Amino acid sequence: MMWSITLTTFTADMMAFLQQFFGVVGVQGHAHHQDILSTPPSEPADLALILKTLPCLEQSEKGAAAKLLDSVQARHLLISYPAQSLGGRSKGMVANYEAQFWQLADGRDWHITRYEFATELVFLATLPAAAC
């Protein structure tokens, strides 16, 4: 199995660590850095991990979160949002980000499962087989 990982906000040492990890666990894979605002990932995948990324994209460019979700070619999307600030305060973040997610999901033919953890709000969106 070939793994391809697109990293958005990782440093060179994090990418090197991931590349070494692939070798240790015997996975054929490649990690690379990519500006997903200007060039969204185009590789098909079974699972796309979009972890705490959408709020940052929206701050950088209005509509960027929807643009990314439209372009990702994966059957399953694991999308997460922070549930707390870096200081540990919730500040209504779960309600705010949940509303943002449902607005992004509106009109999409996704099966969605919601998970909430102490520090993270997570949605697993599964697209219909024909859409992938």
Give the confidence band of 104 by pLDDT, cuts at 50, 70, 90: very high
As a whole number, mean pLDDT of residues 39-50 equals 84
Both 4 and 46 in one domain: the answer is no
The pLDDT value recorded for residue 37 is 82
Both 21 and 44 in one domain: the answer is no
Choose between 7 and 49: higher pLDDT: 49
**What pLDDT digit, counting tens, does each position of 24-37 carry?**
988 777 777 778 88
The pLDDT value recorded for residue 111 is 98
CA distance 53 to 8: 9
Owning domain of residue 24: 1-34
pLDDT at 42 over 70: yes
Both 57 and 91 in one domain: the answer is yes
Domain count, the chain: 2
As a whole number, mean pLDDT of residues 45-56 equals 88
Read off φ and ψ for residue 8, nearest 5 degrees: -105, -40
Both 23 and 87 in one domain: the answer is no
Which CATH number fits the domain that encloses residue 65?
Answer: 3.40.50.150
Both 26 and 45 in one domain: the answer is no
Both 17 and 55 in one domain: the answer is no
Average model confidence (pLDDT) for the chain?
86
Both 51 and 99 in one domain: the answer is yes
The pLDDT value recorded for residue 4 is 59
Both 52 and 115 in one domain: the answer is yes
Both 56 and 79 in one domain: the answer is yes
Both 86 and 23 in one domain: the answer is no
